[in-house]
Structure 1
Amino acid sequence: MQNTEKKQWGVLARDCAIEAGKLIKRMLEEPLEVMYKSSASDLVTSVDRAVEKFVINTVLGAYPDHGILGEEGLFTDDISGMDTIWVIDPIDGTTNFVHQKLNYCVSIAVYHKGEAQVGVVYDPTREELFYAEKGNGAFLNDEPLPKPRQMVMEELLLASSVIWNRRAMKSGLAANIQDLALRSRGMRVLGVAALELAYVAAGRLDAYISLSLNAWDYGAGKLLVEEAGGTITRLDGKEIPFGEKSSILAGNPHIYPKVLELLGTKRV
């Protein structure tokens, strides 16, 4: 892989995200078609599918030998033997999208041989485009993201929705997160993992915790956090495996070790 290839992937990923945002806004002018997937809290809309189809067609038009790993599963070829995989969440935060028409985003990442090379998280309602390129930093609307600030536990702004997860409650993780929240400045629940990871990268949040995310949820955000100087691992502190469902702990590197210690994740 040449550096020029990575640059080209980044240009296409950003263009796709911005055009996807325009498509979303156009489709919002008509009534939403909302469907259930696995439950009443697991939603998909006609917009999710239209956006994923648009990104797939655009990517394959430029790179017909690349693979796609998307939330809606519209790319059906076997990607196991492909070197370059585009990881797409057409609308992360679909429940927010349906109920609020904000606090959602488009997430696009490019992985080559299992390594993230490009990550884009685009918030159409705020017109904020977070972009990372492996080895070249992380940006918000072309401005470099600030380096992580020095901080102590009392200044921590945490994001997580794990406290009402049944598995987390049974294991004791939910109680540990509640204790962590009591030690911190506050806790937020945005309900959109890709954007929450982008906010960790930008310093708007200091830590984000999830018990289980799909590859398309963290695909772009993982690289954003890393390139901004943050730390992102599984809840046990181990590396996140490519393409697999995983727990996530992302945070400011100055507070990450303490958060990991307080979570007591060996039981999870």
Structure 2
Amino acid sequence: MSQSLHPMLNIAIKAARAAGAIINRGALDLDVLKVGRKGPNDFVSDVDRAAEQAIIDILLEAFPSHGILAEETGRERGNKTSEFLWIIDPLDGTTNFLHGFPVYAVSIALQHRGVTQQAVVYDPTRNDLFYASRGRGAFLNDRRLRVSKRTRLGDALVGTGFPFRKGDNFKRYVKMFEEVMQSCAGLRRPGAAALDLCYVAAGWYDGFFEMGLSPWDAAAGALIITEAGGLVGNFTGESDYLYQRELVAGNPKVYGQLVKILAPYTRVLSEPEGPIATAAAALAAAPAADAATQAFVDASAAPAPARKTVRIRKADVTPDDAAPF
């Protein structure tokens, strides 16, 4: 990579590649993996756990005062009161991985005071690294990413994710699926939301929607989309999608058309659950950063202030920005 990257992003990339190496080794002999169930159709393997441990070890070695929110271990490790929070999915697409279907990824995001500042999504089967720093653009390997320019939903390729957990509202999803499918050029469901979001950023999808996502599924991909000129929100187009378990994304034109279709199907949760609630509460009560960590932030551009929405007006996206670094 030729760009000069933020030091925190460099550490996240190191962690993602270490996890990817563990995943690629595990993929060579899937038959010997120990696999457990977190719920119906919701699996976890030794590879998930080993990859997560490797990521957290690398992050906490570099930033011992930071907080951690990880899919398998929640908030067990890290500083629970830090204003810096790493949000980690060590293997998004575990079911694909266990079947040898090569669509899965490592997802790592860093939030500072609740605003995502750094993001990495690593596809170990293709050695593709998607990454972004707030205000500095989104990239795939060395290539700057831009969302697609399609303006009509009727011409759009849209990604989605099927509900699969007990308690998911299948009937509501089928109605959404039917309406979107009849309004767009094609609907796809590869099975790894972190990659789906990156595909929107790359312009391979024009839009995406899914219910039931957790913060670790969406935090990194969402920043990569907005840094590529796209929009992310909940089904009514608001910016607090990360803890609402519903998400829609796309280029600005397609996003607006998808929101119009999906808004009647919104189900805003009044209270997040489990480790998500703990993380949200911790962020609200976070103290000032320690001096060492603050030095990393001060060494680069100051973090952007939180916005009420993540919508980007058309005028904000220039056709071909200069390289941000």
TM > 0.5 fold call? yes
Q: Matches of 2:184 and 2:265 in 1, distance apart?
A: 22
| Deviation (angstroms), 1:62 | 0.8
Unaligned runs of 5+ in 1: none
Unaligned runs of 5+ in 2: 268-325
Q: Determine if contact 2:210/2:246 at 8 Å carries over to the other structure.
A: yes
Of Structure 1 and Structure 2, the greater strand share is in 1
Secondary structure, counterpart of 2:258 in structure 1: helix
* Aligned residue pair count: 261
Of the structure 1 ranges 68-77 and 56-65, higher mean CA displacement relative to structure 2 is found in 68-77
| Deviation (angstroms), 1:43 | 0.2
Q: Matches of 2:55 and 2:11 in 1, distance apart?
A: 10
Of the structure 1 ranges 216-225 and 72-81, higher mean CA displacement relative to structure 2 is found in 72-81
| Deviation (angstroms), 1:168 | 4.3
Residue aligning to 1:25: 24
Residue aligning to 1:12: 11
What residue identity is the alignment partner of 1:185?
A
What residue identity is the alignment partner of 2:239?
E
- Are 1:207 and 2:207 counterparts? yes
Q: Determine if contact 2:147/2:206 at 8 Å carries over to the other structure.
A: no
Counterparts in 2 of 1:47 and 1:176: CA distance versus 1, 3 Å:
closer
Residue aligning to 1:250: 249
| Deviation (angstroms), 1:236 | 1.9
Alignment RMSD, CA only?
2.2
Counterparts in 2 of 1:257 and 1:35: CA distance versus 1, 3 Å:
same
Alignment of 1:85-96 (within 5 A): 85-96=85-96
Residue aligning to 2:104: 104
Of the structure 1 ranges 233-242 and 95-104, higher mean CA displacement relative to structure 2 is found in 233-242
Q: Which deviations, in whole Å up to 9, do the C-alpha atoms of 1:147-191 show, x marking residues without a partner?
A: 4313212211111234788754444x5313312211211110111
Residue aligning to 1:38: 39
Aligned-residue identity in percent: 37
| Deviation (angstroms), 1:206 | 1.2
| Deviation (angstroms), 1:20 | 1.4
Q: Matches of 1:256 and 1:230 in 2, distance apart?
A: 8
Counterparts in 2 of 1:15 and 1:186: CA distance versus 1, 3 Å:
same
What residue identity is the alignment partner of 2:157?
L
Residue aligning to 1:122: 122
- Are 1:68 and 2:30 counterparts? no
| Deviation (angstroms), 1:97 | 0.4
Counterparts in 2 of 1:54 and 1:75: CA distance versus 1, 3 Å:
farther
Q: Matches of 1:267 and 1:219 in 2, distance apart?
A: 20
Q: Matches of 2:205 and 2:150 in 1, distance apart?
A: 13
Q: Normalised by the size of structure 2, how large is the TM-score?
A: 0.75
Q: Which deviations, in whole Å up to 9, do the C-alpha atoms of 1:85-128 show, x marking residues without a partner?
A: 11110000000000124100000111111010111111010111
Secondary structure, counterpart of 1:159 in structure 2: strand
Counterparts in 2 of 1:176 and 1:59: CA distance versus 1, 3 Å:
closer
Q: Determine if contact 1:163/1:177 at 8 Å carries over to the other structure.
A: no
Q: Determine if contact 2:159/2:189 at 8 Å carries over to the other structure.
A: yes
Of the structure 1 ranges 109-118 and 26-35, higher mean CA displacement relative to structure 2 is found in 26-35
Q: Matches of 1:94 and 1:189 in 2, distance apart?
A: 15
Of the structure 1 ranges 142-151 and 61-70, higher mean CA displacement relative to structure 2 is found in 142-151
Secondary structure, counterpart of 2:19 in structure 1: helix
Q: Matches of 2:52 and 2:210 in 1, distance apart?
A: 24
Q: Determine if contact 2:241/2:247 at 8 Å carries over to the other structure.
A: no
Q: Normalised by the size of structure 1, how large is the TM-score?
A: 0.90
Of the structure 1 ranges 179-188 and 145-154, higher mean CA displacement relative to structure 2 is found in 145-154
